Chains A and B, each alone.
Chain A
Amino acid sequence: GNSVTQMEGPVTLSEEAFLTINCTYTATGYPSLFWYVQYPGEGLQLLLKATKADDKGSNKGFEATYRKETTSFHLEKGSVQVSDSAVYFCALSISGNQFYFGTGTSLTVIP
């Protein structure tokens, strides 16, 4: 079946620290991979995506590389800010018919 497993939180970091949130997937077929972010009190927003192996998605200083060999799509940012505090969801889609989301990882960045 199709599923996403992501690192459990919560994660607490100091401002300017390096961030990694792990995400691995299981998929039948060739999925597209996504990271969504949910800021406090808001809906989910697409952060970045990658549609094929070795693609790197990037946005707002965040990056994730589609690794087919390790079935991973880890989210990274070199220097987090307080404004990055949010819940991050890894997701996959097969042919766009269904999206499968991970359980979410809560990130808190302290000044």
Chain B
Amino acid sequence: GAGVSQSPRYKVTKRGQDVALRCDPISGHVSLYWYRQALGQGPEFLTYFNYEAQQDKSGLPNDRFSAERPEGSISTLTIQRTEQRDSAMYRCASSSVLGTEQYFGPGTRLTVT
């Protein structure tokens, strides 16, 4: 079946604009994770969901970042009033049971100019 998909793959936006990044997990996967990955670094945890419930958002850097997964499937990570320091690769992953293998999407490369 299809893997995790993310859209857009690349996003260039101007400072101060809002952006919405989409993640479509593997069908039936319960858990969904968002990560941010700076160049030359490993993925940094942002938040995760079980079904539609956001279980942990302690990794979100500030209140400009939010995420939702209203129907327990597709998730959206929203960044308001973007800043240049938000530029990074944003990765989504899903898993069938909490703690088992995570399947990663290709990521969205966000560039804030």
Contacts and interface: CB of A to CB of B under 8 A. Distances in A.
Interface in B47-61: 48, 55-56, 59
B102 to A, nearest CB: 7
Given A97-B48, A101-B43, A103-B41, A43 B101 contact: no
Interface residues of A, number: 22
- Secondary structure dominating the interface of A: strand
Nearest to B92: A43
Q: Which range contains the number of B residues in contact with the other chain? A: 20 to 34
Contacts of A101: 35, 42-44
B72 interface: no
A49 B55 contact: no
Contact of A104 (B35, B42, B104, B105): B42
A96 B101 CA distance: 9
Interface of B: 4, 31, 33, 35, 40-45, 48, 55-56, 59, 91, 93, 95, 98-107
